[in-house]
């Protein structure tokens, strides 16, 4: 597990450097295996640039000569090899003097005879992902010269705490924030799930899905909400940056929301394409010997009766607490999402993960045992983000099998 200090500061005031904090945490029993740095060593000299012109390089077919307003006087000439660079874009510019994540310090350079005073950055050059197909284009037209660190977390120290089996409550950043509060006395901020957009209709159930749990010892609690009018697409840069700092790759806004909320709350979630759930009913049950399921990683898994799964009318659709199934995964065509947050038996999850040789971020948390009360906390935070980032509307009602009600 990785805990970016920049993100942790949302929940607790972190004074001093990460190494000093790790030493304080060790005194309370939370050992930190190591302290890393994510992104450039400094955010200095990374600014927003506005591309004014992008002309073909006279001596290189794959290069463009750009005039870029960086907010500090005359436009800069920057030679760029990205095929998608175009006039009118707002981009991230690394100015001379910037130090890249790999330690390279930028200076002015001549590229095929033309002096280039900076670099227009792609995602991978900033540590935000693996995309190097083109430069990163900023949404919202931020003002030229704006420090990039004002838009998203470009650089942060990162803790890697060792979460012991009896500390499932520390599987998320807010749990770690509680430990920092206990170790240092620093002010702990309000829980990030305190504002639940679905709170008014908690007592009712959503229309369009039913769930049956055959063995409550395998699944003490199963909650679900429905989101309609979902637009699946890329995540905003602030979300991509935080996931990257925590060691996660961005996939889509919906999937990224589930990973973000897991990293905050310590409670894994799973998003189904509701229209791919056959029969409009899910059943939590033991697998039948010989059943098969193709998981999200594209592997076909042979199941047996010791494995807990989620099934619909057409058969297995998810490995409970370990990994979802390919048949019901969220895609660009998805418009209705069923968001599941459940609690699973730790011993069964451990056995399933070991038997199938499949360990995931979700299984590593469920193996430690999670509180049933945390399910609705994760639903609350995820619901707010789904409405904000996907344009979805939250349907009335929360399905809650095994809850207090």
Query: Mean pLDDT over all residues of the chain?
Result: 95
Task: Answer whether 239's CB lies under 8 Å from 256's CB.
Answer: yes
How much of the chain, in percent, has pLDDT values that exceed 90? 90
Q: How large is the average pLDDT for residues 230-235? A: 97
Burial class (CB in 10 A: 0-12, 13-18, 19+), 369: middle
pLDDT over 70 at 405, yes or no? no
**46-148 architecture in CATH?**
Beta Barrel (2.40)
For residues 89 and 64, is the Cβ–Cβ distance under 8 A? no
129 burial level (CB within 10 Å; 0-12, 13-18, 19+): middle
Give the pairing of strands 210-213 and 281-286.
parallel
Segments making up each domain of the chain, as ranges? 3-39+155-184, 46-148, 199-401
Query: What is the rounded distance in angstroms from the CA atom of residue 347 to the CA atom of residue 366?
Result: 9
Tell me, which fold does domain 3-39+155-184 have in CATH?
Answer: Phenylalanyl-tRNA Synthetase; Chain B, domain 1 (3.30.56)
Q: Which CATH architecture has domain 199-401?
A: 3-Layer(bba) Sandwich (3.50)
List pLDDT tens digits, range 317-342.
Answer: 999 999 999 999 999 999 999 999 99
pLDDT band at 131 (very low <50, low <70, confident <90, very high): confident
**Rounded distance between C-alpha atoms, residue 381 and residue 194, angstroms:** 8
Band of pLDDT at residue 212, cut at 50, 70 and 90: very high
361-391 pLDDT, tens per residue? Answer: 999 999 999 999 999 999 999 999 999 999 9
Please give the full DSSP string across 63-132, using - where no structure is assigned. Answer: -EEEEEE-SSSSPEEEEE--TT--TT-EEEEE-TT-B-TTSPBP--EEETTEEE-SEEPPGGGGTS-S--
The 32-38 sheet, strands edge to edge: 3-4, 156-161, 32-38
pLDDT-derived band at 114 (thresholds 50, 70, 90) equals: very high
pLDDT confidence tier of residue 170, bands split at 50, 70 and 90: confident
pLDDT of residue 404: 63
Residue 63, pLDDT > 90, answer yes
Asked whether residue 111 carries a pLDDT value surpassing 70, the answer given is yes
The pTM of the whole model exceeds 0.85:
yes
pLDDT at 124 over 70: yes
Neighbours of 52 (CB within 10 A): 15
Q: With 70 as the cut, is the pLDDT of residue 60 above it? A: yes
- Please report the pLDDT score of residue 129 as a whole number: 80
Point out the least confidently predicted range of 54-58, 201-205, 379-383. Answer: 201-205
- What the block records as the tokens of 360 is 């995931």
What average pLDDT does range 102-113 have in this prediction? 92
Give pLDDT, residue 133. Answer: 80
> Taken in order 285, 286, 287, 288, is the CA torsion positive or negative?
negative
Q: At what angle do helices 173-184 and 18-27 cross, to 10 degrees?
A: 80
In this prediction, residues 101-110 reach a mean pLDDT of 93
Dump pLDDT digits (tens) for 239-266.
999 999 999 999 999 999 999 999 999 9
Orientation angle between helical segments 374-390 and 253-265, nearest 10 degrees: 150
């Amino acid at each position: 597990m990785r805990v970016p200090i920049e993100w942790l500061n949302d929940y607790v005031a972190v004074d001093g450097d990460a190494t000093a904090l790790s030493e304080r945490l060790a005194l309370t029993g939370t050992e930190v295996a190591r302290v890393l740095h994510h992104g450039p060593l400094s955010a200095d000299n990374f600014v927003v640039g506005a591309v004014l012109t992008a002309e073909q390089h006279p001596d290189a077919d794959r290069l463009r000569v750009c005039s870029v307003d960086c907010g500090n006087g005359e436009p800069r000439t920057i030679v760029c090899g990205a095929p998608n660079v175009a006039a009118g874009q707002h981009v991230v510019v690394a100015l001379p003097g910037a130090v890249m994540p790999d330690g390279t310090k930028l200076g002015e350079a001549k590229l095929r005879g033309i002096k280039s005073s900076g670099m227009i950055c792609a995602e991978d050059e900033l540590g935000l992902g693996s995309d190097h197909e083109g430069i990163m284009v900023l949404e919202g037209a931020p003002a030229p010269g704006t420090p990039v660190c004002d838009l998203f977390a470009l650089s942060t120290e990162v803790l890697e705490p060792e979460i012991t089996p009896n500390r499932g409550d520390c599987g998320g950043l807010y749990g770690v924030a509680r430990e920092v509060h206990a170790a240092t006395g620093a002010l702990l901020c309000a829980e990030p799930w305190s504002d639940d957009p679905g709170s008014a209709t908690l007592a009712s159930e959503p229309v369009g899905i039913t769930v049956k749990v055959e063995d409550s010892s395998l699944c003490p609690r199963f909650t679900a909400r429905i989101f309609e009018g979902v637009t699946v697409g890329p995540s905003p840069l602030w979300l991509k940056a935080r996931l990257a700092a925590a060691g996660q790759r961005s996939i889509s806004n919906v999937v990224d929301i589930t990973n973000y909320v897991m990293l905050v709350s310590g409670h894994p979630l799973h998003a189904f394409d509701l229209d791919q759930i056959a029969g409009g009913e899910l059943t939590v049950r033991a697998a039948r010997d010989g059943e098969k399921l193709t998981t999200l990683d594209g592997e076909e898994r042979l199941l047996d009766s010791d494995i807990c799964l989620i099934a619909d009318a057409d058969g297995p659709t998810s490995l409970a607490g370990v990994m979802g199934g390919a048949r019901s995964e969220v895609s660009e065509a998805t418009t209705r999402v069923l968001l599941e947050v459940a609690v699973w038996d730790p011993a069964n999850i451990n056995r399933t993960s070991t038997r199938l040789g499949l360990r995931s971020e979700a299984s590593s948390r469920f193996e430690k045992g999670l509180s049933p009360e945390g399910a609705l906390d994760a639903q609350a935070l995820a619901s707010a983000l789904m409405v904000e980032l996907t344009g979805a509307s939250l349907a009335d009602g929360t399905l809650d099998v095994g809850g207090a009600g």
